[in-house]
Chain A
Amino acid sequence: MSSSRHRDDAAPPPPLAGEGWEEGVSVRKTPQEERALSRIASVDAIRPPPQAGEVKAARAQPQRIEVQRPLHTLMLPLSLFAGLALANAPAHAFIAYVSNEKSNTVSVIDTDSWTVTKTIKVGQRPRGIDFTRDGKFVMVAVGDDDTIQVIDAKTQSVVDSLPSGPDPELFAQDAAGKILYVANENDNTVTVIDLEKRARLGDIQVGVEPEGMTISPDGKTLINTSETTNMAHFIDTSSRQIVANVLVDARPRFAEFKHDSSEVWVSSEIGGTVSIIDPNKHEVIGKVTFEIPGLRKEAIQPVGIGMTKDDKTAFIALGPANRIAVVDVATRKVLKYLLVGQRVWHMAFTPDEKYLLTTNGVSNDVSVIDVAAQKVIKTIQVGELPWGITIAP
């Protein structure tokens, strides 16, 4: 039985994930099939001869991953470089907390040494993560445990939990840090929590699969996006009533206000766009679209958004496109694409806005972007499937 198998052992091993068609699957090279291939016109229709950009795309794929790796191997010189850069600036060490969706942990990163200093065990499926306004605690939504856990930033251990409602994913807090609004993906509601009393104040019915949450700078309007309803719901925080629903592209995941309150940016993961909404007129007034040469459109899936305090530059995570788009806010045009890790989800600025840290879900690392230079300067390994990130104020 096994003798027939041995003959086959000379055949190349199955390709690894990420390897290209050329090396991995040698269909075209199989001699006995050449006749059949040439007979079927469709085969050429499926894999056309090299044409503007197309085949480049295929070859660029493994190459992109290659670009990643040198980052890791170059860690030493890079960290020297980063160290030098830091030495010139006033010493500002910040602490970043990263939720690792798969490993059920939170990684603590020191932004001085750019190393993980501690890994905290939390509940199941940690995703949304944010500091309390006073900087004393970190809240992390652990969806599969139906709660939000509270980490003491001093002891770096879980000290409490909040009555978040089922399957919490993302949440937003008011400016005073007293009220927390939580998106409950499983039952189409937003839960309102009194943070001091740790008590549930009520809930608001929204669309199917609520996800993105943000509050206007004046605290009067809460925005929630619902993934299957494809809307941004504008909620009056005093009456807790929906005042407007704005239809955006498919699977809206994240919402971010401009600091001057003039616009809300909403990312649509499946639609592949970012809708810009006038929060007073409740209308979509523009869209950011993305085009990366050689990358198929479906791979561009915008999720997290970060905006500089001067409202001039927005950074948009493009998921499996493995890139952060740098967008000029005024013209809504993409200035450049920064290659980060695989499946980039969310991001956070250091308080001095020198660095932007992104979570890369599939490559299990965090990329550090020099904001002024618009360059990726470092990659830090964290837990499995990093998702959310927050940095101490």
Chain B
Amino acid sequence: MIRWLVGLIGLGAAAASALAADPVMIGVGYLGVAGTRSTLSLVEQPAENDGIAGARLAIEDNNTTGKFLNQRFTLEERRIGEGEDVVQAATALAEKNGFIIADLPADALLKVSDALRDRGTLLFNAGAIDERLREADCRANVIHTAPTRAMLADALGQYLVWKQWKRWLLVVGSHEEDKLFADALRRTATRFGAKIVQERTFEDKGGARRTDSGVTLIQRQMPVFTQQAPAYDVLVVADESEVFGAYLPYRTWDPRPVAGSAGLVPRSWDAAQDQWGAIQMQNRFVKLNSRRMTALDMQAWTAVRMIGEATSRTNSGEVKKVADFIKGPDFSVAAFKGTRLTLRDWNLQLRQPILLVDGRMVVSVSPQEGFLHQVSELDTLGYDRPESKCKLK
């Protein structure tokens, strides 16, 4: 109902501005999954509009610029419910929108990209961090603004090594994505000279994340789980599934810091980030959405801003032209991270600094000083060109 009303008002506004001169209309779709995942910490519980809220802000920013160039951006949202066909939803969204921001699991994203390949729709992966989407399963019509697990792990690993915390106790959850993150962390340890002194697996035996008995049991479990470890500097935890990671800080048998999925966490963005002029954008975001900005919001914001940047540089709303410019050598986008962000042309992954955050502050930003590269220091994070298995098609 409300959406219809908004649509009508939108139409009215479009009709009014059409009187002046027909603006170039640029349709952006947002495709996500309905419902939110559960987190251990209540404050980390994602809002229902996680992601799209960032896209909305970028649409506003693009339209402020667009009014000087006679370009108008619109946003159409579609959420897939249980059992709904993602390809059908994507195809419907692609009718009116040349660009689609996707927050989908890897398999769904691949289905959508293959289904829309001949249509010329340009997809932006704002949600999935899976390596394979940029490697063996890369696609020429998918641009990735979400970082990869390897980028996140390398960003964390560079800092830990810089800090001389080189002996890691690796604790891994029992779910598939936990194992993938653990793989990335092992690769990081090898690349940057850290040593994993021991690995432990935390089995998910089910159970509720919130109980009335509270932390009593956790306080007994976690020290026992981490006791009798070989000497280590930092406990590195891979628990993307949010089963136990957040229980570890302050509860380890030995007094050691925790990093990875809890404690010091690598992220593309954080509500506490205020460097490099970010405070202005954080303020705009809070004003528009009445909450703070998450990493997913930022990944969607960046995707929509990339479209806006390319439409203003090419002075065109034509998808092919815009896509070619984004994939070309002259493209870069400013995203409040102190440096221009560019695309890795071999797999269309956005190069970006990664923040290391503790839930209250930005502790550091990687790449760390001294990690050098002949092309871009941002390429010290994640898989580099010579290692890539991606063949864009």
The answer to whether A and B come from one shared complex is yes
> B-contacting residues of A (Cβ < 8 Å)?
1, 4-5, 7-8, 11-15, 17-22, 24-28, 30, 32-33, 36-37, 39-43, 45-48, 51, 54-55, 57-58, 61, 167, 185-186, 188, 207-209, 227-231, 233, 242, 245, 247, 250-251, 270-272, 296, 298
Minimum CB–CB distance for A283 against chain B, Å: 14
Q: Residue of B at shortest CB range from A51?
A: B374
Report yes or no: A11 in contact with B231, Cβ–Cβ below 8 A: no
Let me know if B313 is at the binding interface, CB within 8 A: yes
Q: Residue of B at shortest CB range from A229?
A: B65
Contact (A4, B231) CB under 8 Å given A20-B370, A41-B387, A46-B371: yes
Residues from chain B with Cβ under 8 Å of A43 in the complex? 191
Q: A42-B387, A45-B385, A61-B369 are in contact. List 20 more A-B contacts (CB 8 A).
A: A5-B231, A13-B164, A19-B369, A21-B369, A27-B161, A28-B193, A30-B166, A33-B195, A45-B384, A46-B379, A47-B373, A48-B374, A54-B374, A55-B372, A188-B64, A207-B68, A228-B281, A233-B68, A250-B309, A296-B376
User: Which of these, A4, A11, A228, contacts B334 with CB under 8 Å?
Assistant: A228
Report yes or no: A54 in contact with B372, Cβ–Cβ below 8 A: yes
Residues from chain B with Cβ under 8 Å of A25 in the complex? 161-162, 193, 370
Report yes or no: B332 in contact with A30, Cβ–Cβ below 8 A: no
7 closest A-B pairs by beta carbon, nearest first, are A21-B370, A27-B193, A4-B231, A245-B68, A229-B65, A270-B334, A298-B339
Q: Residue of B at shortest CB range from A228?
A: B61
Residues from chain B with Cβ under 8 Å of A207 in the complex? 64-65, 68
User: Which of these, A5, A26, A48, A231, contacts B68 with CB under 8 Å?
Assistant: A231
CA A46 – CA B384 in complex, angstroms? 8
Q: Residue of B at shortest CB range from A26?
A: B193
CA A115 – CA B231 in complex, angstroms? 53
Minimum CB–CB distance for B309 against chain A, Å: 8
Let me know if B38 is at the binding interface, CB within 8 A: no
Minimum CB–CB distance for A239 against chain B, Å: 17
Contact (A41, B334) CB under 8 Å given A13-B164, A46-B379, A298-B339: no
Residues from chain A with Cβ under 8 Å of B219 in the complex? none
Residues from chain B with Cβ under 8 Å of A1 in the complex? 254-255
Minimum CB–CB distance for B113 against chain A, Å: 27
CA A361 – CA B7 in complex, angstroms? 48
Residues from chain A with Cβ under 8 Å of B333 in the complex? 250
Let me know if B280 is at the binding interface, CB within 8 A: yes
Report yes or no: B65 in contact with A208, Cβ–Cβ below 8 A: yes
Interface string of B355-393 (1 = CB under 8 A from A): 000000000000001111110110110011111000000
12 of the cross-chain contacts (CB-CB < 8 Å) are: A13-B164, A20-B370, A21-B371, A25-B161, A25-B193, A32-B195, A46-B371, A167-B280, A186-B284, A229-B65, A271-B332, A298-B376
Q: Residue of B at shortest CB range from A143?
A: B279
Let me know if B163 is at the binding interface, CB within 8 A: yes
Tell me the chain B residues, 301-326 only, with Cβ under 8 Å from chain A. Answer: 305, 309, 312-313
Residues from chain A with Cβ under 8 Å of B190 in the complex? 33, 36-37, 39-40
Q: Residue of A at shortest CB range from B64?
A: A208
CA A94 – CA B123 in complex, angstroms? 59
Let me know if B35 is at the binding interface, CB within 8 A: no
Interface string of B229-265 (1 = CB under 8 A from A): 0010100000000000000000000110000000000
CA A282 – CA B312 in complex, angstroms? 16
Minimum CB–CB distance for B257 against chain A, Å: 13
Minimum CB–CB distance for A208 against chain B, Å: 5
Residues from chain B with Cβ under 8 Å of A46 in the complex? 191, 371-373, 379-380, 384
Contact (A230, B312) CB under 8 Å given A8-B233, A272-B340: yes
Tell me the chain B residues, 169-222 only, with Cβ under 8 Å from chain A. Answer: 190-193, 195
Residues from chain A with Cβ under 8 Å of B105 in the complex? none
User: Which of these, B164, B255, B280, B373, contacts A12 with CB under 8 Å?
Assistant: B164
CA A251 – CA B190 in complex, angstroms? 38
CA A25 – CA B163 in complex, angstroms? 9
Report yes or no: A42 in contact with B386, Cβ–Cβ below 8 A: yes
Minimum CB–CB distance for B82 against chain A, Å: 38
Interface string of B30-60 (1 = CB under 8 A from A): 0000000000000000000000000000000
Q: Residue of A at shortest CB range from B255?
A: A1
CA A242 – CA B69 in complex, angstroms? 13
Report yes or no: B193 in contact with A37, Cβ–Cβ below 8 A: yes
Residues from chain B with Cβ under 8 Å of A251 in the complex? 277, 334
Let me know if B283 is at the binding interface, CB within 8 A: yes
Report yes or no: B340 in contact with A24, Cβ–Cβ below 8 A: no
Residues from chain A with Cβ under 8 Å of B64 in the complex? 188, 207-208, 229
CA A32 – CA B374 in complex, angstroms? 26
Max chain A Cβ within 10 angstroms of own Cβ: one of B191, B309, B384? B191
Report yes or no: B162 in contact with A14, Cβ–Cβ below 8 A: yes
Residues from chain A with Cβ under 8 Å of B65 in the complex? 207-208, 228-231
Minimum CB–CB distance for A385 against chain B, Å: 12
Minimum CB–CB distance for B24 against chain A, Å: 15
User: Which of these, A14, A18, A58, A227, contacts B372 with CB under 8 Å?
Assistant: A58
Residues from chain B with Cβ under 8 Å of A296 in the complex? 376-377
Report yes or no: B192 in contact with A27, Cβ–Cβ below 8 A: yes
Report yes or no: B384 in contact with A42, Cβ–Cβ below 8 A: yes
Residues from chain A with Cβ under 8 Å of B339 in the complex? 270, 298
CA A5 – CA B369 in complex, angstroms? 26
Q: Residue of B at shortest CB range from A53?
A: B374
Contact (A24, B370) CB under 8 Å given A46-B384, A250-B340: yes
Minimum CB–CB distance for A89 against chain B, Å: 40
Report yes or no: A209 in contact with B370, Cβ–Cβ below 8 A: no
Residues from chain B with Cβ under 8 Å of A271 in the complex? 332, 340
Report yes or no: B332 in contact with A250, Cβ–Cβ below 8 A: yes
Q: Residue of A at shortest CB range from B162?
A: A25
Contact (A30, B162) CB under 8 Å given A46-B384, A231-B65: no
Minimum CB–CB distance for A105 against chain B, Å: 20
CA A231 – CA B386 in complex, angstroms? 38
Residues from chain B with Cβ under 8 Å of A242 in the complex? 68
Residues from chain A with Cβ under 8 Å of B309 in the complex? 230, 250
Residues from chain A with Cβ under 8 Å of B386 in the complex? 41-42, 45
Residues from chain B with Cβ under 8 Å of A41 in the complex? 386-387
Q: Residue of A at shortest CB range from B383?
A: A42
Q: Residue of B at shortest CB range from A35?
A: B190
CA A13 – CA B387 in complex, angstroms? 33
CA A55 – CA B68 in complex, angstroms? 45
Residues from chain A with Cβ under 8 Å of B163 in the complex? 14
Residues from chain A with Cβ under 8 Å of B305 in the complex? 228
Report yes or no: A24 in contact with B277, Cβ–Cβ below 8 A: no
CA A242 – CA B312 in complex, angstroms? 18
Q: Residue of A at shortest CB range from B231?
A: A4
Residues from chain A with Cβ under 8 Å of B383 in the complex? 42
User: Which of these, B193, B340, B369, B384, contacts A30 with CB under 8 Å?
Assistant: B193
Residues from chain B with Cβ under 8 Å of A61 in the complex? 369
